């Protein structure tokens, strides 16, 4: 049974704080192991990849090959159901359309003193995309990571995915093909991250690495950060649902469970001003649980991390939501839009009764890679800008330098940086002939 | 004497690769020390800050107080030269004007199937700004970090700066006041980062921490990342100058030295197609060096990390620059703008003979916090978006859900996530009465 809180209870402040600081992830210390694997890949290249794949994935890549060939991808595609392929195509088209709106504009302008300045965006040259293997191998995540990279203009997009016992979900290959992934290698774990960061004879290094993975992958990404760019470190998924009495308890329960089924460490929270709805949702969760293939996972998540918070009026939920900073936030009720406008911290907001979070996971068009573990307070979901970077541009004329130069000289001197001051001052003097 | 390379030499490829992988920073392993300091601040709060400040900065904060009061800031302001204050004001106004152009637009649109979607930008609620003490305590860096945060709308901007022997550069306080910093605490090192991340009775925690610092500060920032957001980890500064024979060798030499004087680990590189210019610049550097107050630092940087690269034609420099991915890039010559358009990797580009890099350090308006150590391949200089985050918005109607829902159900089932599929499917059925 989930945690029940009530803002009218005298110990609410303490209980809510405990909810906020609930540790959902065992901080598995795999840093040393990841470090050793990285060193081995740097030293032994492809041989290390083959050896680790044999050890961890029970697959012989010296026979199968590291790189997945075009025929193999085509064969995988042929094995997918037409229904799933069609759904992937719809999802991809919508993701591309949404993310194309994120393409930034360059700016170059001349200011009042005649300085030309601005900035220019350019795509990152090459990106590595990590895709987990086994049951967490989601074709939708391939689309969510690859499509924005391609929209940004990334020229070389490299996917790595482990092949436990030689197997990869064929829909993952189909999604990669659809999204324009340029190279696929069947290797995973910290060794795949090392190969992407430092390169091997077979895998040329990339400039940035994105995509979720297990604790080893996360530790390796932290280690190689600096040598390459990385995206966020993903934590267990979470949803907060704010609903008034108008909500359908079965639908709310289904949404809470859609989050809970991801992972025993996932978190589903309901905030409502209606105690009757709260009880109905709780009962519906119990009922629906027993019919789920992933019942065990979802039940553990709901039992250990689920919460129902009663408030006296729905506006109270805004401050609570901002402190929880949920990855996913559903708001249901006549005031949904009004309430949502005051929310500052959330990865994504799903408005109204007909927007279950799962729509955003697949076909909404917005990205499903979103900040977890309260990091929506300071970061955004994956977007096109994550695959670009900007260069600022500055151009002074002799005249504009004459206007600005003296202040730069003054500041250089004030900071004790005389060579800074001189590099400007020299140009203010008449040009030596 | 700097390294001399020539693209026409048969071993150029190997030599250039060696230049690229030159390790300029001793990887001082202070991670354990930083970890211990953080744990102490979490456990003992203000007392730990007082104790570390006594130990590392030789200052008694139990007498002086952690927080810097308004009168003290006003007194510092009064001690600054009018000339320096005026220069700071000009710099601040230009930085604000430039960064206001970076404020992003929200988007909310209805797509062809009737889904309302888009995103909304919000400022990060609170930000901590680390400012180094002693000789690296630069008022210009206070402006460069604080102004974009305030333009973004950060409500609470907290500055920490160590006070070795009780002293802080008065211009640093003046810059903080000018830029609208809300709170100042005279504490530095890993202990200041811990206080900002976890809070103490005196210092309320912030949501993101920015600003450069020494190895302990960098290690502490890596450690607290996740609990709070952080900016990039700053490395030693660097400049690449691409110039043809039209360039004034004295000016180029001054620009190379303006970079070299920062740090013995700074790096200054010249690429030119004119051997005569190369020799003249090298000679001018030697001459100018002897007149610099920071001669020793600049000489060591130029000797150990400086380089002059001769190319047969200037277009060759584009590929070299992209591989070096310099923090600062000056391009001088009639083709400067044309060449610059093909550069993909650079923090900032300074065009033409009248744009010494130092102008960008102070009064250009663009930000001087830029990616170092080749990270311009995957990251951008500090900007307004670093102080904001976006929330995506999705709203389906019953009709648009009916259009998109079946594909979401198909993908949920294909991924083995039945609760995902059900949360959509329930809403496609006639609503239970």
The predicted-structure confidence for A294-350, as pLDDT tens digits, reads as follows 999 999 999 999 999 999 999 999 999 999 999 999 999 999 999 999 999 999 999
Mean pLDDT of the region B383-396: 98
Kindly determine whether residue B366 and residue A417, on different chains, have CB atoms separated by under 8 Å.
no
pLDDT of residue A26: 64
Kindly determine whether residue A258 and residue B87, on different chains, have CB atoms separated by under 8 Å.
no
CB A117 within 8 Å of CB A109: yes
Query: In which residue ranges of chain A is pLDDT below 50?
Result: 432-433
Mean pLDDT of the region B181-198: 98
Kindly determine whether residue B426 and residue A250, on different chains, have CB atoms separated by under 8 Å.
yes
Question: pLDDT tens for residues B13-60?
Answer: 999 999 998 877 766 678 899 999 999 999 999 999 999 999 999 999
Query: Looking at the domain that runs over B235-378, which CATH code has it been given?
Result: 3.40.50.1980
Bridge partner residues of A121 (DSSP): A390
Find the closest chain A residue to B337 by CA distance: A395
Question: pLDDT tens for residues A232-279?
Answer: 888 889 999 999 999 999 999 999 999 999 999 999 999 999 999 999
ipTM field: 0.95
Architecture of domain B31-221: 3-Layer(aba) Sandwich (3.40)
**The three-state (H, E, C) secondary structure of chain A, written as one string:** CCEEEECCCCCHHHHHHHHHCCCCCCCCCCHHHHHHHHHHHHHHCHHHHHHHHHHHHCCCHHHHCCECCHHHHHHHHHHCCHHHHHHHHHHHHHHHHHHHCCCCCCEEEECCCCCEEEEEEEECCEEEEECCCHHHCCHHHHHHHHHHHHHHCCCEEEEECCCHHHCCCHHHHHHHHHHCCCEEECCCHHHHHHHHHHCCCCCCCCCEEECCCCHHHHHHHHHHECCEEECCCCCCCEEEEEECCCCCHHHHHHHHHHHHCCCCCCEEEEEECCHHHHHHHHHHHHHHHCCCCCHHHHHHHHHHHCEEEECCCCCHHHHHHHHHCCCEEEEECCCHHHHHHCCCCCCEEEECCCCCHHHHHHCCCCCCCCCCCCHHHCCCCCCHHHHEEEEEEEECCHHHHHHHHHHHHHHHHHCCCHHHHHHHHHHHCCCCC
Query: Looking at the domain that runs over A396-428, which CATH code has it been given?
Result: 1.20.5.1300
DSSP for B353-384, please give it: TT--HHHHHHTSSS-S----TTGGGT-----G
Counting Cβ atoms within 10 Å, is residue B23 exposed (0-12), middle (13-18) or buried (19+)? Answer: exposed
Q: CATH fold of A235-374, please?
A: Rossmann fold (3.40.50)
Distance from CA of A178 to the nearest CA of B (A): 15
Q: Which residues of B are catalytic?
A: 327-328
Find the closest chain B residue to A85 by CA distance: B411
Of B250, B367, B393, the CB nearest to A351: B393
Would B31-221 and B397-428 be classified into the same CATH topology?
A: no
pLDDT of residue B297: 96
- Give all strands of the β-sheet with B208-210 in edge-to-edge order: B183-185, B156-160, B126-130, B208-210, B229-230
Q: CATH fold of A31-230, please?
A: Rossmann fold (3.40.50)
Counting one residue from chain A and one from chain B, the pairs whose CB atoms sit within 8 A come to 370
Residues of A in contact with B257 (CB under 8 A): 419, 422-423
* Selected residues 307-366 of chain B with any CB under 8 Å from a CB in chain A: 337, 340, 343-366
DSSP for B116-181, please give it: EEEEEEEE-SEEEEE---GGG--HHHHHHHHHHHHHHT-SEEEEE---GGG---HHHHHHHHHHT-
Of A298, A352, A379, the CB nearest to B229: A379
Of B81, B101, B351, the CB nearest to A394: B351
Question: pLDDT tens for residues A367-383?
Answer: 999 999 999 999 999 99
Q: Say if residue A368 carries a ligand binding annotation.
A: no
Unique residue bearing structure tokens 């080893």: A216
Kindly determine whether residue A385 and residue B385, on different chains, have CB atoms separated by under 8 Å.
yes
Q: Say if residue B420 carries a ligand binding annotation.
A: yes
**For chain B, domain boundaries:** 31-221, 235-378, 397-428
Domain B397-428 has CATH 1.20.5.1300: yes
pLDDT of residue B26: 64
């Amino acid at each position: 049974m989930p945690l029940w809180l009530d803002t009218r209870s005298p110990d609410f402040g303490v209980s809510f704080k405990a909810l906020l600081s609930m540790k959902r992830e065992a901080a598995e210390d795999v840093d040393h192991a990841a470090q050793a694997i990285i060193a081995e890949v740097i030293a032994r290249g492809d041989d290390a990849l083959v050896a680790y794949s044999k050890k961890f994935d029970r697959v012989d890549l010296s026979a199968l090959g590291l790189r997945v060939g075009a025929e193999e991808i085509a064969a995988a595609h042929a094995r997918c159901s037409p229904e799933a392929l069609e759904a992937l195509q719809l999802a991809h088209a919508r993701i591309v359309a949404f993310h194309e709106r994120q393409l930034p504009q360059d700016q170059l302008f001349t200011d009042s003193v005649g300085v030309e300045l601005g900035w220019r965006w350019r795509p990152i040259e090459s990106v590595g995309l990590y895709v987990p293997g086994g049951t967490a191998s989601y074709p939708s995540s391939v689309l969510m990571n690859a499509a924005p990279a391609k929209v940004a203009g990334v020229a070389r997009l490299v996917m790595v995915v482990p092949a436990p016992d030689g197997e990869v979900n064929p829909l993952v290959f189909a999604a990669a093909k659809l999204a324009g992934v340029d190279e696929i290698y069947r290797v995973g774990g910290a060794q795949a991250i090392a190969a992407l960061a430092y390169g091997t004879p077979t895998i040329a290094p990339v400039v940035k690495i994105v995509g979720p993975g297990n604790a080893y992958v996360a530790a390796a990404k932290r280690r190689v950060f600096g040598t390459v760019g990385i995206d966020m470190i993903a934590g267990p998924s979470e949803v907060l649902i704010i609903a008034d009495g108008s909500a359908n308890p079965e639908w709310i329960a289904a949404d809470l469970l859609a989050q809970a089924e991801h992972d025993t460490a996932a978190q589903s929270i309901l905030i409502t001003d209606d105690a009757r709805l709260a009880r109905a949702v709780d009962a519906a969760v119990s009922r629906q649980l027993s019919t789920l293939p992933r019942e065990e996972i979802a039940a553990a998540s709901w039992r250990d991390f689920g919460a129902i918070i009663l408030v006296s009026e729905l506006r109270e939920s805004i401050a609570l939501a901002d402190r929880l900073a949920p990855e996913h936030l559903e708001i249901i009720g006549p005031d949904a839009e009004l309430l949502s406008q005051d929310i500052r911290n959330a990865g994504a907001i799903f408005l109204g009764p007909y927007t279950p979070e799962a729509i955003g996971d697949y076909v909404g068009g917005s990205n499903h890679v979103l900040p977890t573990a309260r990091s929506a307070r300071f970061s955004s979901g994956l977007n096109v800008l994550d695959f670009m970077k900007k260069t600022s541009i500055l151009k002074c004329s002799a005249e504009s330098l004459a206007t600005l130069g003296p202040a730069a000289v003054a500041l250089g001197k004030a900071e004790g940086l005389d060579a800074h001051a001189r590099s400007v001052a020299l140009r203010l003097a008449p040009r030596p002939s």
